[in-house]
Structure 1
Amino acid sequence: MDPLTEQDIRTSFVNCTKGEAKRLSVPRDLLDRPWGDLDFLGWRDPQAPDRAYLVLGSGEGPVGIQLRSSDAGSWQTRRSMCSLCVTVHTGGVSLLVAPRAGKAGQQGNSVGAYMCTDLACSLYVRGKKDAGVGSRLRESLTLEQQIERTVMNVEAFIARVTG
């Protein structure tokens, strides 16, 4: 993924108002992010732990979505799998819900998926971050194919938000 600026990030959001995009907390460590290892930029809002954001670079420019979690602690002891990167976590997967873009979102419609709580899917797939014993299943897919699958899963989720 190509490095993104704060302005790139703020203008990329498709499922929130311009005012909300202007007020959201952008990571302060953008220069230090491992951009070469990222397929998308994902982060949790340190000021509002129930909020998360995901920005995917695309040929038409970055596309960002805001997410909310409903972490009620029920996932802290159960093993769950991220639907984006297929990493298994104990307590590290959350149901993240995104309001749909446009009029559907204004009417309260949303879509959700189980995702890595820290949104570090790219790093888990590449083995740069460890989710613990048994977190990565043995697969016959190459690393490149696993990365491609993760990107396709993110694109499919964004398509559900924008469609």
Structure 2
Amino acid sequence: MKPLTEQDIRTSFINCSKGEAKRLAVPRDLGERPWDDLDFLGWRDPGAPDRSYLVTEREGRLVGVTMRFQPARQASLQRSMCSLCLTTHPRGGVSLMTARKAGAAGREGNSVGVYMCTDLACSLYVRGKKVPESGSRLEESLTRAEQIDRTTDGLAAFLDKVHA
């Protein structure tokens, strides 16, 4: 992914108003992100524990979505798997991320969801650049490139549902 500026990010959102995009918290460490290893920029809002954001490039343009999720309950002992990168995590490491649909459908309250790594580091997990805390990645016969393609295809399918 190419490095993004704050302005790039703010103008990319498809499922919120321009005013909402102007007010959302953008990461301050954009210059330190491992852009070459990212398929998308994902981050959580430090001021709103139930909000996260995702920006990626699709068909030559940036597409951003705002998402909400339920913060994990600490007592949960179950493990969950991210539907994009197939990384398993214990206790809240995977969350159902819901995004309001774009346009009129979103204004009417329609949304779609996907189970994703709560820290939105799917790109790093699939490349082996980050190891999940007490979690694991499946042993696969797919090449790393094929795993990356599967992750980006899953993200594209989710974004298509948001945009539909």
Q: Deviations over 1:110-137 (max 9, x none)?
A: 0011110000000000111111455100
In the alignment, which residue of structure 2 is the partner of 1:94? 95
**CA–CA distance in structure 1, aligned partners of residues 139 and 133 of structure 2:** 14
Superposition deviation, residue 31 in structure 1: 0.3
In the alignment, is the contact (CA less than 8 A) between 1:75 and 1:90 conserved in 2? no
**CA–CA distance in structure 2, aligned partners of residues 64 and 154 of structure 1:** 12
Is 1:144 aligned with 2:145? yes
**CA–CA distance in structure 2, aligned partners of residues 8 and 77 of structure 1:** 39
In the alignment, which residue of structure 1 is the partner of 2:18? 18
**CA–CA distance in structure 1, aligned partners of residues 163 and 59 of structure 2:** 16
**CA–CA distance in structure 1, aligned partners of residues 151 and 76 of structure 2:** 24
Q: Deviations over 1:69-120 (max 9, x none)?
A: 1125178421000011111111200111000000000000000111100000
Q: Judging changes above 3 Å, is the alpha-carbon distance between structure 1 residues 88 and 152 closer, same or farther for their aligned structure 2 residues? A: same
Instruction: Structure 2: state its 5+ residue gaps.
Output: none
In the alignment, which residue of structure 2 is the partner of 1:153? 154
Moved more, 95-104 or 63-72: 63-72
In the alignment, is the contact (CA less than 8 A) between 1:75 and 1:93 conserved in 2? no
**CA–CA distance in structure 2, aligned partners of residues 98 and 75 of structure 1:** 26
Instruction: Structure 1: state its 5+ residue gaps.
Output: none
